[in-house]
Amino acid sequence: MYKKGILLDRDGVIIENREDYVKNTSEVKILPGVREAITSLWMENYIVCIITNQSGVSKGLYSEKDVKDIHRFIEKELCHEISGPIFWYYCPHQDKDKCTCRKPNSGLLEKAISDHNFCSENTWMVGDNIRDIEAGRKAQCQTCLVLTGLGKSFNKPKMSLVPHKVCHDLYEFVEQILTEEEESL
């Protein structure tokens, strides 16, 4: 039996995306409905993994310690009465580094899938960018594009890679998959 997993992009899905990067905890703004969505996933025994590109590290805009501080801050903000663990996976590289962990490559997704014994075909990658969708497809996951963050400019006819689902935000996505799961029982 496999564990139920959800892979989420960070900026634009969990927190507001900033053109100048989220560099410290004072710049973190949790998106509406995220707390409730994550809590619903935990209540249904999903394991939540955040998969995020953080090229600002290699660009010298912030440090890996800053990234870890931001992740601890986000986790603290999301964990209330009902909580579970959040597993963090981040790539500090730029495209020019040609690493296998930076989305649209699937290295971090595959690591999360392996670390937690997920069945990739039944695991969702949720992102606000075509890079997230491409990485999810490469890892053989189901994919969802949310229309928050960079997803606000989504234009299906122009997309070369269409996601399995398109949802207004993370909350709507979670409501849909939990309803579908309940209906299939």
From the candidates 9, 66, 128, 132, give the one annotated as an active-site residue. 9
Q: Is 20 a catalytic residue?
A: no
Instruction: Establish whether 66 is a catalytic residue.
Output: no
Q: Taking a C-beta distance cutoff of 8 angstroms, is the pair 3, 16 a contact?
A: no
Helix H or strand E encompassing 48: strand 47-53
Which two three-digit tokens encode residue 171? Answer: 């909350």
> Do residues 109 and 51 make contact, with C-beta atoms less than 8 angstroms apart?
yes
User: How many helices (H) and strands (E) would you count in the chain?
Assistant: 5, 6
- Of the residues 11, 66, 132, 169, only one is catalytic, namely 11
Rounded Cα distance, 56 and 91, in Å = 10
Q: Which residues are catalytic?
A: 9, 11
